[in-house]
Amino acid sequence: MNSPRMSDLIRRAAYLVVFLALLIGFGKSLHAFYRIFITPDPADFARPWFWIQVAWSVPLTLLAASSLLFRKPSRANTAILLFSLLVAMYPFEIALWALNMDTSFSREGRQMHFEHLRKQGITVDMRTPLNVIFDLRRAGVQAVPTFSPSVQTVPSGPLFPLSAISRKLTVLCNHSGSYATYISDEHGFNNPTGLWRHRLPFDIAIFGDSFAQGFCVDQDKDFSSYVRHKFPATANLGMSGTGPLAQLATMREYLPFLKPRLVLWLYYEGNDLDDLDRELRDPMLQNYLMPGFTQGLIRRQGEIDLVYLEQIERKLKDFRSTPPPTPPQTDSEITKTMRLFRTRGLIFSALRARVFSRDPVHDKSLLDSYGQVVLAADRQVDALGGKLVLVYLPDWVRIKGRLADLGYQQKEDVLAIAKRAGIPVVDIGEIFRTHPDAAHGFLVYAGSHYSEEGYRLAADYVLSRLPEFTQSGSRLSR
C-alpha cells in the first residue's frame, strides 16, 4: 500500500469537497441577497425563505474560505464535518418519507398540489389567466380578469373604482385544476344577476378582500353563496386587493342602496393591516375618512367599465396566444430525498411559524387608524339601521398551529378595537379549532385561500351565530 499516494488522494478529495462547499455557499449567498434586495418577491412567504438561505450559505462560505485560505480548520477536518452533517440528515429525510409527512412550504405548495391532482387523474389547466381570457375571447366569450381597485384617469377627472367590470365572465384563479369564474353583476361584484333589484332592505351585505369576493372557487361555492342559501337577499361587495379603508369606501358608496339589516365585514389577518398601511397614503381613499364624501360610483358604472375595458384591450392587443405551458417536471421520490426536500420544508415551515411571524408587526399609529376606520364603518352601518359584525378570518400559519396565539398578527389588538367600538366578532378560528387537521381540510395548500369546504364551514359557523346579533324586532327575513 502506497501511504504517501493515499495521503495525497485524501488531501485532493478534501480540497475538492471544501472547494465545492465554497462554490455552493457563495452562489447561494449571492442568489439570496439578489432576491432579497435587488428583485424582492412580493409574495409574503418568499423573504423568510431567502433569509434562511442566507443563514446557512454565509457561514458555509466563511468556513470553506477559511479552510482553503488559512487551513483553519484543516481541509480534511472541514470535509469530514461537512460530509458527516450531510450524511446525518438522510435518516431523518427517509423517516419523513416513510411517515408520508407533508412538510411542503408555500413556495412549492401550489406545484405539489397540482402534482397530487394529476396523480388522481384530474386534468390541471396550466394556462395563465391571460391565456384563458384570450382563448375565451377567441371562442366569442368576452371574458375579463378581476381588478384590484386603483386610481384611474377618466375625462371627468380622477376615478377610484371600488368594483370591477359589470356583466362579464370574470376569470379568477386556479386552485382545483381549473379556473374559477363568475359572471359579474350590474355593478361589477360577484353576485347573481338581478340581485340588486331585490326589494329593500336587504338581509345581509358582505365586505372584505379576495376571501369575500370568492377566490378561488366558482360562484356557488364561495362564502356569500353559502350565506345566500339561507338568506337570499345577501349582497357580496368583496373585492380583491382591498383593505379596511377601501372597504369603508365601498360601504359609503353602495350601502345606501341596499340598507342591509346586517353587515358582515370579513377581516383577513394575513394582510388587512398591510393593505390599510398602503391605503392610508392614497389621497383619494383618505377622503373617505371625512363624513359624507362619495364619488357617486353606483351611477358611474359605465365609466368604470370603460376604463377597465380599455386596459384589457391594451393588454390583449399585442398578446400572442402561446401553447399552454406543459406541467412542470416534478422530481421523483428518490430525487426529492437526495435534495433533502422534506427536511428543508420542515425547517422552513417551523421557522416561518415561530421566527418570521414575530409580533407586533405594526405600530400604534396604524392600529389607531384602523380603529378610526372601524368607528366610521360602524356609524355608516348604524345610520342605515343595520348591525355591523366583524368576521375574523385566520391565515394558514394560525390554522396550522397558532390558533390560540393572540399575539400573532396582533389579533388581540384587532379584537380590542372591535370591542371598544361595540362591534361583535365572529372568530372563524373557533370552528377551525374543532377540526384536528384544519389546515389541510379547509385550505387548498399552504398560503392559499380557503377551499370550498373551508368557505362552507366558515359560512355555516357565522350563520349559527346570527341569533346573537339580531333582536326579535329586527329579524332577518328568510
The pLDDT of residue 148: 83
The pLDDT of residue 400: 79
CA dihedral for 320, 322, 324, 326, sign (positive or negative): negative
Task: Using pLDDT thresholds of 50, 70 and 90, give the confidence band for residue 4.
Answer: confident
Phi, psi of 201 (to 5 degrees): -80, 155
Place of cell 350590474: 186
Task: Give CA–CA dist 33/167, Å, rounded.
Answer: 46
The pLDDT of residue 79: 85
Give the model confidence (pLDDT) of 325-358 as tens digits: 554 555 566 666 666 666 766 666 666 555 544 4
The pLDDT of residue 194: 92
Give the model confidence (pLDDT) of 253-269 as tens digits: 999 999 999 999 999 99
Residue type, 256: P
Where is average pLDDT lowest: 108-117, 223-232, 233-242? 108-117
Give the model confidence (pLDDT) of 37-78 as tens digits: 776 544 444 556 677 788 888 998 999 899 888 888 888 888
Residue spans of alpha helices (H) in 99-141: 106-119, 129-138
Which is it for strands 169-171 and 181-183: parallel, antiparallel or unpaired?
Answer: antiparallel
Task: Using pLDDT thresholds of 50, 70 and 90, give the confidence band for residue 116.
Answer: confident
Q: Is residue 96 classed as helix, strand or coil in its secondary structure?
A: helix
Q: What strands lie across the sheet with 262-268, from one edge to the other?
A: 234-236, 204-207, 262-268, 387-393, 425-427
pLDDT higher than 90, residue 167: yes
Task: Give CA–CA dist 184/207, Å, rounded.
Answer: 16
More confident residue, 353 or 161: 161
Among the ranges 123-127, 326-330, 390-394, which has the highest mean pLDDT value? Answer: 390-394
Give the model confidence (pLDDT) of 274-330 as tens digits: 999 999 999 999 999 999 999 999 999 999 999 999 888 887 777 654 555 554 555
Phi, psi of 317 (to 5 degrees): -55, -50
Residue type, 215: F
Place of cell 409574495: 43
Kindly state the average pLDDT of the residues 69-96: 82
Task: Using pLDDT thresholds of 50, 70 and 90, give the confidence band for residue 475.
Answer: low
Q: What strands lie across the sheet with 144-145, from one edge to the other?
A: 144-145, 169-171, 181-183
Phi, psi of 281 (to 5 degrees): -95, 0
Q: Cα angle vertex 11, ends 5, 16, to 5°? A: 125
Which cell numbers hold the place of 324? 399552454
Nearest to 182 by CA among 238, 250, 266, 124: 238
